[in-house]
Amino acid sequence: GAGVSQSPRYKVAKRGQDVALRCDPISGHVSLFWYQQALGQGPEFLTYFQNEAQLDKSGLPSDRFFAERPEGSVSTLKIQRTQQEDSAVYLCASSSGTEGWGSLGEQYFGPGTRLTVT
Amino acid sequence: DAKTTQPPSMDCAEGRAANLPCNHSTISGNEYVYWYRQIHSQGPQYIIHGLKNNETNEMASLIITEDRKSSTLILPHATLRDTAVYYCIVRVTTDSWGKLQFGAGTQVVVTP
């Protein structure tokens, strides 16, 4: 079956531009996560949705970052007035929403969007 | 969630077992050990997880010490496609809503 897809795969933005990154999770997955991965580092958590509700946005680095998932499926991460320090790979992950006994807690990751701010 | 310590890199010969260590000396009794890997230009991929007992699946084996302060991921017969960054993560829940806290991981290079 189809995995998590992200678009675009690569994005070059001039400093100060707004960008929108899209994530299509696995169909039926309740949970959706966004992570940011700087070059040579491990991914860092940004935000989490359960269906359409954004339950945790503690990792968003500034108010220039905004994420939404209006219908509980596709999600968009928007970055306003991009800065050079925003250059990174943005990863989206989804999971089934299972919990408790028997849950593996696996997250399925997309290939990421590489954002370069010039 | 507890912190983990991994060596930054290691090499492994193709066909041999790769043993990847991870220290998590501050792990709590209810925290799980998860392993993910990230092949170049791809997103991370779940490998295995465990609480106390050793675990095995089609990808790897996970050996957790009795005091749970460290663990080893074993790739029994490494192939070139196993070249990746391997992340050891300690996590308080198996619930799928729990975020993952990645460290820097171990860059594993499998050589012919």
Is residue B102 within 8 A of residue A43, CB to CB? The reply is yes
For residue range B42-70, list pLDDT tens digits in order: 999 999 999 888 999 999 999 999 999 99
Average pLDDT taken over every residue of chain B = 92
Region of B68 please: left (phi>0), alpha (psi -120 to 50) or beta.
left
For residue range A8-24, list pLDDT tens digits in order: 999 999 999 999 999 99
Q: Does B34 touch chain A (CB under 8 A)?
A: yes
Which among B41, B45, B95 is the nearest to A109, CB-wise? B45
Q: Does B43 touch chain A (CB under 8 A)?
A: yes
E strand segments, A1-118 = 5-7, 10-13, 19-24, 31-37, 44-50, 53-56, 65-68, 75-79, 88-95, 108-109, 113-117
Look at residue B55 in the predicted model and tell me its pLDDT.
Answer: 94
Q: Does B54 touch chain A (CB under 8 A)?
A: no
User: pLDDT band at residue B92, thresholds of 50, 70 and 90?
Assistant: confident
Q: Which token pair is A83?
A: 């800065």
Find, in chain A, the residue whose alpha carbon is nearest to that of B103: A42
Contact A31/B32, CB-based, under 8 Å? no
Is residue A105 within 8 A of residue A41, CB to CB? The reply is no
Average pLDDT on B60-88 reads 97
Look at residue A106 in the predicted model and tell me its pLDDT.
Answer: 84
User: pLDDT band at residue A103, thresholds of 50, 70 and 90?
Assistant: low
**Backbone dihedral angles phi then psi of residue A24, each to the nearest 5 degrees:** -110, 105
Look at residue A1 in the predicted model and tell me its pLDDT.
Answer: 55
Which among A41, A45, A100 is the nearest to B99, CB-wise? A45
Is residue B95 within 8 A of residue A100, CB to CB? The reply is yes
The whole-angstrom separation of Cα A21 and Cα A101 is 34
Is residue A78 within 8 A of residue A57, CB to CB? The reply is no
Look at residue B91 in the predicted model and tell me its pLDDT.
Answer: 84
Taking the alpha carbons of A106, A39, A112, A31 in that order, is the dihedral positive or negative? positive
Region of B15 please: left (phi>0), alpha (psi -120 to 50) or beta.
left
Nearest CA to B88 out of B57, B54, B55, B50 is that of B50
Our CA-based measurement puts residue A44 at a distance from the nearest CA of chain B, in whole angstroms, of: 7
Is residue A31 within 8 A of residue A95, CB to CB? The reply is yes
Which one of B96, B100, B101, B102 would you mutate to disrupt binding with A, by most A Cβ within 10 Å of its Cβ?
Answer: B96
Average pLDDT on A50-59 reads 93
Cis peptide bond upstream of B76, omega within 30: no
Q: Does A24 touch chain B (CB under 8 A)?
A: no
